[in-house]
């Protein structure tokens, strides 16, 4: 397993030289103190924690996994101690609201710290990571008493949270859920049912675990309109905030699974557990939409994390591993062979990983900034940011995790046979990366959300918000020296809109057309969005080179990676376009019975 080295130079490039971070936060209420210097100092501390504490536990955590017993779940050696350090150093509260003990730093900074921790050890990050959704739900919809009771401990990290949605027969379609909530005389609810796949449902890191659970009340309407939301603590909480008796929720078992083995994926039995209604009855799904965007950016981060880690390991290996000679003559004439980094095909894979990791970093930090504008911007700016987030979030979640998986697979290939062997760590990265395209909404579900709800559902308005921004960027950088990037962007901007209209027209006649186009449409969109961020990085790098500010090699490398992306990766859009416009017939005409032949 490669030991992780935080890419601080690249992180600072994106934050300070590509995105207008300093001006943005100087103008957002409450974030005035989040200056570049302060943010850099915090990021450097986060990098040390990730490199020195979390990274060394990544491979051992995978080997050891979690152990279930009647008493609970034991996480791998060192995990609980790392969590204690994380809490003692105040990391959980970094970007939480001050009212309940948060340090009130921008969400973007939280996302950067998650990148560092998650790249070093994704399984470990799942424990504090799941608290995020729980905190956001209570902040947005909890009663004043619920906030008072749960948020200070959750924000400080003394307690962790979960999201209990999935049941054995339903994941994507939560309308099928069966867990029951029976009203009790004291105003609480008795929650009964079994949830599966619950990340961090049980563990040995915190004093209490606070479950956010969806369940159905008696006589609730069928489907998604009958879902209510409850908070169910592992230990009941006394009025003075101290821990009371054990609640009727227990972990029945943990899953044996392909990757993220150090993250406990729990079957949770609720046997008349005491739960408390959050918000209004039957509004559960609507309430969860409020934090879904941030949760999805968090999961998108996993794609970036695995692309980055696979790239770091692959690069080191490609520089050292000797095999055959360069096609243009020896590059290591004193050695028995050349390092494999001389071979064009190895470079193709390395540059693919690099362009995915760095492009995704810019995309996700930008999205996190939009989240901060939604929270703290003036009304007009917040509305615009919200619209952009609506269309970009499913793209980021599905595209970045699919691309991260590709990058992780290249890691195995670059290591050759050694990539398949556990001790080198590349197969772990690929196994860990696999889940990201599944949970928090599969790629297929994100694609339906993009094409159905976001693009066609808004009559193209949300998409146009983004393409207009692409157009403004192209116009603002009309200089001939940027044309190799702005030219193609301009073409894609128009093609994306025309193609969306065509799919929309077909979908009016036959709804299956939207479903048939969806994943190719999403991947096409992902490549174009990443192209937009690569173009921004290329222009920023070119400007720095022209100014002669130094660090030229860094900027030249950025420019060359941008060229690679535009010439070798972005053209993948052409095949997605052909596939998505080929229509639904080639998928739907085969009768189900014929699939058997």
Ligand X SMILES: Cc1cc2nc3c(=O)[nH]c(=O)nc-3n(C[C@H](O)[C@H](O)[C@H](O)COP(=O)(O)OP(=O)(O)OC[C@H]3O[C@@H](n4cnc5c(N)ncnc54)[C@H](O)[C@@H]3O)c2cc1C
How many amino acids of this chain bind ligand X (CB under 6 A)? Answer: 22
Please, which residue, 163 or 297, has the CB nearer to ligand X? Answer: 163
What CA–CA distance (Å, rounded) separates 254 from 204? 14
Q: Given candidates 80, 315, 438, 560, which one binds ligand X under the rule CB under 6 A? A: 438
| Radius of gyration of the chain measured on its C-alpha atoms | 24
Q: Given candidates 52, 85, 172, 491, which one binds ligand X under the rule CB under 6 A? A: 172
What CA–CA distance (Å, rounded) separates 539 from 562? 10
Under rule CB under 6 A, residue 439 binds ligand X:
yes
Under rule CB under 6 A, residue 117 binds ligand X:
no
Q: How far is the CB of 208 from ligand X (least distance, A)?
A: 17
Under rule CB under 6 A, residue 198 binds ligand X:
yes
Q: Given candidates 25, 197, 365, 482, which one binds ligand X under the rule CB under 6 A? A: 197
At which residue do the structure tokens 């790249």 appear?
119
Region from 162-170, 176-184, 358-366, 487-495 binding ligand X, contact rule CB under 6 A: 162-170
Instruction: Please report the DSSP string for 554-568 in residue order.
Output: HHHHHHHHHHHIIII
Q: Given candidates 28, 116, 164, 395, which one binds ligand X under the rule CB under 6 A? A: 164
Under rule CB under 6 A, residue 297 binds ligand X:
no
Measured at CB, which residue is nearest to ligand X?
171
Under rule CB under 6 A, residue 171 binds ligand X:
yes
Region from 192-200, 524-532, 550-558, 575-583 binding ligand X, contact rule CB under 6 A: 192-200
Three-class DSSP category at 326 = coil
- Whether residue 440 lies in the annotated active site: yes
Q: How far is the CB of 504 from ligand X (least distance, A)?
A: 18
From first CA to last CA, the distance across the chain in angstroms is: 43
Q: How far is the CB of 452 from ligand X (least distance, A)?
A: 10
Q: Are 217 and 290 in contact (CB under 8 A)?
A: no
Please, which residue, 578 or 587, has the CB nearer to ligand X? Answer: 587
Please, which residue, 337 or 438, has the CB nearer to ligand X? Answer: 438
What CA–CA distance (Å, rounded) separates 36 from 16? 7
Under rule CB under 6 A, residue 554 binds ligand X:
no
Q: How far is the CB of 167 from ligand X (least distance, A)?
A: 8
The catalytic position among 202, 406, 440, 513 is: 440
What CA–CA distance (Å, rounded) separates 270 from 492? 51
Q: Show Cβ contacts of residue 87 under 8 Å, excluding neighbours closer than 6 positions.
A: 156, 157, 158
Instruction: Please report the DSSP string for 109-167 in residue order.
Output: HHHHHHHHHHHH-HHHHHHHHHHHHHHHHHHHH--HHHHHHHHHHHHHTSEEEEEE--B
Q: Show Cβ contacts of residue 108 under 8 Å, excluding neighbours closer than 6 positions.
A: 15, 21, 365, 368, 369, 371, 372
Which tokens sit at 498?
Answer: 């025309």
Q: How far is the CB of 15 from ligand X (least distance, A)?
A: 30
* Phi and psi, residue 272, nearest 5°: 65, 35
Under rule CB under 6 A, residue 302 binds ligand X:
no
* Phi and psi, residue 152, nearest 5°: -55, -45
Region from 157-165, 180-188, 293-301, 335-343 binding ligand X, contact rule CB under 6 A: 157-165
Strands 189-199 and 208-215, sheet pairing = unpaired
Q: Show Cβ contacts of residue 244 under 8 Å, excluding neighbours closer than 6 positions.
A: 235, 236, 237, 238
Under rule CB under 6 A, residue 399 binds ligand X:
no
Under rule CB under 6 A, residue 137 binds ligand X:
no
Under rule CB under 6 A, residue 265 binds ligand X:
yes
Under rule CB under 6 A, residue 163 binds ligand X:
yes
Region from 92-100, 202-210, 410-418, 441-449 binding ligand X, contact rule CB under 6 A: 441-449
Under rule CB under 6 A, residue 262 binds ligand X:
no
Residues annotated as catalytic are 440
Residues that bind ligand X (CB under 6 A): 130, 163-166, 170-173, 197-199, 257, 265, 435, 438-439, 442, 444-445, 448, 515
């Amino acid at each position: 397993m490669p030991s992780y080295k935080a890419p601080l130079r690249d992180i600072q490039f994106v934050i300070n030289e590509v995105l207008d971070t300093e001006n943005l936060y100087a103008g957002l209420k409450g974030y005035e103190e989040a200056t570049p210097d302060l943010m850099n100092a915090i990021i450097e501390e986060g990098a040390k924690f990730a490199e020195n504490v979390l990274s060394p536990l990544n491979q051992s955590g995978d080997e050891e996994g979690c152990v279930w017993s009647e008493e609970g779940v034991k996480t791998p050696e060192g995990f609980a101690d790392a969590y204690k350090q994380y809490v003692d150093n105040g990391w959980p509260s970094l970007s939480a609201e001050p009212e309940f003990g948060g340090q009130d730093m921008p969400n973007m900074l939280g996302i950067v710290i998650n990148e560092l921790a998650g790249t070093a050890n994704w399984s470990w990050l799942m424990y504090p990571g799941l608290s995020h959704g729980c905190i956001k739900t209570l902040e947005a919809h909890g009663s004043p008493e619920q906030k008072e009771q749960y948020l200070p401990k959750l924000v400080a990290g003394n307690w962790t949270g979960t999201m209990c949605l999935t049941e054995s027969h339903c994941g994507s379609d939560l309308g099928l859920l069966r867990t029951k909530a029976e009203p009790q005389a004291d105003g609480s609810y008795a929650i009964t049912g079994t949830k599966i796949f619950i990340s961090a449902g049980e563990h040995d890191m915190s004093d209490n675990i606070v479950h956010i659970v969806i369940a159905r009340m008696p006589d609730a309407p069928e489907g998604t309109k009958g879902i209510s939301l409850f908070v169910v603590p592992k230990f009941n909480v006394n009025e003075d905030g101290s821990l009371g008796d054990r609640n009727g929720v227990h972990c029945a078992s943990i899953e044996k699974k392909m990757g993220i083995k150090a993250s406990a994926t729990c079957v949770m039995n609720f046997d008349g557990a005491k739960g408390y209604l959050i918000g209004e009855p039957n509004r559960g799904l609507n309430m969860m939409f409020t934090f879904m965007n941030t949760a999805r950016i968090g999961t998108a981060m996993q794609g970036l994390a695995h692309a980055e880690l696979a790239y770091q390991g692959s690069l080191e290996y490609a520089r050292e591993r000797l095999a055959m000679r360069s096609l243009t003559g020896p590059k290591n004439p004193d050695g028995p062979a050349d390092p494999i980094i001389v071979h064009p095909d190895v470079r193709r894979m390395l540059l693919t990983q690099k362009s995915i990791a760095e492009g995704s970093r810019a995309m996700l930090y930008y999205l996190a900034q939009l989240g901060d504008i939604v929270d703290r911007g003036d009304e007009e700016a917040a509305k615009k940011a919200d619209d952009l987030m609506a269309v970009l979030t499913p793209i980021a979640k599905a595209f970045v995790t699919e691309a991260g998986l590709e990058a992780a697979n290249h890691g195995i290939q670059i290591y050759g046979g050694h990539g398949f062997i556990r001790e080198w760590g590349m197969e772990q990265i690929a196994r860990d990366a696999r889940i990201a395209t599944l949970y928090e909404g599969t790629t297929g579900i994100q694609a339906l959300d993009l094409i159905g709800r976001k693009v066609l559902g808004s009559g193209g308005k949300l998409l146009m918000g983004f393409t207009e921004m692409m157009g403004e960027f192209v116009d603002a950088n009309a200089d001939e020296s940027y044309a190799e990037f702005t030219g193609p962007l301009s073409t894609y901007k128009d093609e994306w809109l025309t193609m969306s209209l065509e799919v929309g027209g077909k979908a009016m006649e036959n709804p299956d057309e939207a479903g048939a186009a969806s994943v190719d449409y999403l991947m096409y969109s992902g490549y174009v969005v990443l192209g937009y961020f690569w173009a921004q990085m290329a222009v920023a790098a070119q400007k720095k080179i022209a100014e002669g500010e130094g660090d030229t090699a860094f900027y030249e490398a950025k420019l060359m990676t941008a060229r690679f992306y535009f010439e070798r990766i972005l053209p993948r859009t052409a095949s997605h376009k052909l596939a998505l416009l080929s229509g639904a017939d080639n998928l739907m005409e085969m009768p189900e019975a014929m699939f058997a032949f």
